[in-house]
Structure 1
Amino acid sequence: MRTRRWIFSAVMRLLLRCLRIGQRHRFWPTQKVWQLWLYGRLCLRSLLYNSFTDSDTVLDALFEPVYWLVDHVTRWFGVVFVALVIILTSSVVCIVYVCLLPLILRTYPLPWIFWHFIYGHWNLVMIVFHYYMAITTQPGYPPQQSKSDVAAVSICKKCIAPKPARSHHCSICNRCVLKMDHHCPWLNNCVGHFNHRYFFSFCLFMTMGCIYSSISGWDMFWEAYAAIEKMKLLAKERLQMTVNQTYGQTPPPTFTFHQRAFHKSVVYAWVLCSSVALALGALMIWHAVLITRGETSIERHINRKEKKRLQKKGKVFRNPYSYGPLGNWKEFLGVDANRHWVTRVLLPSTHPPKGTGLSWDTTPCVPEQKTALLAI
């Protein structure tokens, strides 16, 4: 009896062992794939995990190829943009000297001739001077030595060097820039601490010159436009006479090459000046607002995010680099008791801005807010 029971138990154990072995061999590939999937997901999360990741970070990562293409195109086409500015500005100046100035000297009274001569040349000198200075003046760069006396608030992950407050890395110039505002392709240069005033002054005087040209040339523009329409109408009449072969009729009068070139040049100059006045005027007003607030274009984006973050905590955001509207303009223009704004702003001046751009005096604010801003 015991022998039968022992044999039955041994057979059952052997059968269960065979079923277990078959089950292991049957589901072994599935278990292996599942283990690999868990391991790969863990590795991916460990490599890409970031507690600061948000929608902006994801969008930046997705648009990184686009940013790379724009940066390289802007870097190589910067010289083309500068040449385009010089060519367009020179063309308008040539039209004024060749076409409009002789007409002004013949038809305008002496006080208006004096006004146009003085104001036009002053505006032209200010435009050329500030554009040249904005191109040739370096925006300012922090020292590249890792061991320096610069009060750095962070380390640039691309330069691997100390990054002072208000400085940012320019992907086009491939280096950090002090108080960086943006990279301007029309200057082929970054707008930073040492050339920000030249850039804004160029935008201001260029806008003033375009508005002056558009207003003073309004009547000339409509006369030239009417003459061009008349030329088109006469050209159609001549073509119709040629088709109908009415040689006995008197052909309509024709405009000379000088007259056609004169009218087309006036229309071209007025349209170009009006377009630049609208586009550049909007940019100038935007930068004037930023200067009044004591921030740059990059800091505007950072301050908005910081303001929203503090609002969620029930706190009020204050810009530590703002000294009030008047104080911000004095700081930007470098005007103080020893340097008057008339000689520094209304005349060509190469005076540098206040400070070195490596450190900044901050206004009193909440320590948490100040630390958060400096860390960004």
Structure 2
Amino acid sequence: MRSRQRMYSAVMRFFLKCLRIGQRRRFWLTRHVQQLWLYGRLCMRSLVYNSFADGDTALDALFEPIYWLVDHVTRWFGVVFVALVITLTSSVVVIVYVCLLPLVLQTYPLLWVFWHFIYGHWNLVMIVFHYYMAITTQPGCPPQQSKSDVVAVSICRKCISPKPARTHHCSICNRCILKMDHHCPWLNNCVGHFNHRYFFSFMLFMTMGCIYSSVSGWDLFWEAYAAIEKMKLLDKERLHVAANQTYSQTPPPTFSFRQRAFHKSIVYAWVLCSSVALALGALMIWHSVLITRGETSIERHINRKEKRRLRLKGKVFRNPYNYGPLGNWKVFLGVETQRHWITRFLLPSTHPPYGTGLNWDTPPCVAEQKAPLLAI
């Protein structure tokens, strides 16, 4: 009897022990789910924890992996893009020298030959010079050690260092850039304070060169296109004759390899120059508008948000770096006198831009321009 009671007691104790373990596991699972819920709610609240955070902050956080992938791909493929620009430009130059220049010397009058020779080589020199300078010139970075004469408007969250005015952090170069406009993969370099002029001049002269090549080669393009269509018809006839050849039939005449290469090269050069003229010309016009307003590509978006915010408060936004249309171009190109427009804009020049990019005051050329207006 006692053995049965002991056995019953042992079974009951084991059952109660299993019940306690089950309750502990159930309570542990409930606590774990509750902790995950609190953590997720905290993460969601951290995206909008103050008045400066909005939907853009949440989107930036969500798209951070995509940004990381694009930054690394752009960083590693920058050399490929530069090699592609050099290859395409060199191919057009070779076609011009091998195919077009002999025709110009044989068929054009002496005055037109002189014009094409002078203008074509001047445009080519300006393109090569400004592209080389845009690639090799550093855009400029703020000093690592803080200086008393450098006025910082904020602290970079990634560099943990003071940021002067108009300075932004480039996630691809992983550093802060003075007067940053954007990171250009076709240059494999950032466009900033010290190479912005080279970048814009390259776009301007490349667009001018492509338009010049497209306009001057319009007639040759249509002749080459017609010749290529004729080649296709002759090839079809030759295949038809070869399939049903008799002793009385002779195959049609064929174009030589040199003639085929000549016509296809003309079409390739014209299509490439026209496409680049449209795409790069649109980008050049957009940057011209930004320069006229005294803005960069990044400042354009920042100023739009600031205008919208101040408009709701009944205030008017004023760009502190806008010196007027002519003054903005003088500051951007680094010209001060009329002679500088020729020596520093129409000819290759390595003169530095105005200022150091750390402080932005009213330039002397702009102050002299505004002085008569203030006197009146």
Q: Which residue is equivalent to 1:78?
A: 78
- Scaled by the length of structure 1, the TM-score of the pair is 0.85
Cα distance in structure 2, aligned partners of 1:122 and 1:54: 51
Q: Which residue is equivalent to 1:154?
A: 154
Say if 1:293 and 1:325, in contact at 8 Å, map to a contact too.
yes
Q: Which residue is equivalent to 1:325?
A: 325
Is 1:236 the counterpart of 2:217 in the alignment? no
Equivalences for 1:350-361 in 2 at 5 Å? 350-361=350-361
Is 1:128 the counterpart of 2:135 in the alignment? no
Is 1:54 the counterpart of 2:54 in the alignment? yes
Cα distance in structure 2, aligned partners of 1:238 and 1:303: 66
Residue deviations 1:11-33, cap 9 Å, x none? xxxxxxxxxxxxxx9x9889967
Q: Which residue is equivalent to 2:203?
A: 203
Partner SS, residue 344 of structure 2: helix
Partner SS, residue 318 of structure 1: coil
Equivalences for 1:216-365 in 2 at 5 Å? 216-337=216-337, 340-361=340-361
Partner SS, residue 205 of structure 2: helix
Cα distance in structure 2, aligned partners of 1:53 and 1:267: 53
Partner SS, residue 340 of structure 1: helix
Say if 1:78 and 1:187, in contact at 8 Å, map to a contact too.
yes
**1:49 CA drift (Å):** 5.1
Cα distance in structure 2, aligned partners of 1:124 and 1:68: 37
Say if 1:180 and 1:193, in contact at 8 Å, map to a contact too.
yes
**1:146 CA drift (Å):** 4.4
Equivalences for 1:117-196 in 2 at 5 Å? 117-146=117-146, 149-196=149-196
Say if 2:152 and 2:163, in contact at 8 Å, map to a contact too.
yes
**1:248 CA drift (Å):** 1.9
Say if 2:293 and 2:328, in contact at 8 Å, map to a contact too.
yes
Cα distance in structure 2, aligned partners of 1:137 and 1:322: 25
Residue deviations 1:296-348, cap 9 Å, x none? 00000000000100111111111111000000000000011386211110000
Say if 2:182 and 2:192, in contact at 8 Å, map to a contact too.
yes
- Percent identical pairs in the alignment equals 80
Residue deviations 1:262-313, cap 9 Å, x none? 0000000000000000000000000000000000000000000001001111
Q: Which runs of 5+ in 2 are unaligned?
A: 1-23, 364-376
**How many matched pairs?**
339
* CA spacing shift, 1:221–1:133, aligned 2, 3 Å: same
Partner SS, residue 163 of structure 1: strand
Residue deviations 1:38-95, cap 9 Å, x none? 7546754675552122111111111111111110000000000000000000000000
Cα distance in structure 2, aligned partners of 1:155 and 1:42: 29
* CA spacing shift, 1:154–1:247, aligned 2, 3 Å: farther
Cα distance in structure 1, aligned partners of 2:124 and 2:150: 40
Cα distance in structure 2, aligned partners of 1:36 and 1:93: 67
The residue type paired with residue 188 of structure 2 is N
Q: Which runs of 5+ in 1 are unaligned?
A: 1-24, 364-376
* CA spacing shift, 1:250–1:331, aligned 2, 3 Å: same
Say if 1:320 and 1:362, in contact at 8 Å, map to a contact too.
no
Cα distance in structure 2, aligned partners of 1:348 and 1:71: 33
**1:149 CA drift (Å):** 3.8
* CA spacing shift, 1:165–1:233, aligned 2, 3 Å: same
* CA spacing shift, 1:287–1:47, aligned 2, 3 Å: closer
- Scaled by the length of structure 2, the TM-score of the pair is 0.85
| Aligned-residue RMSD, C-alpha | 2.3
**1:195 CA drift (Å):** 0.3
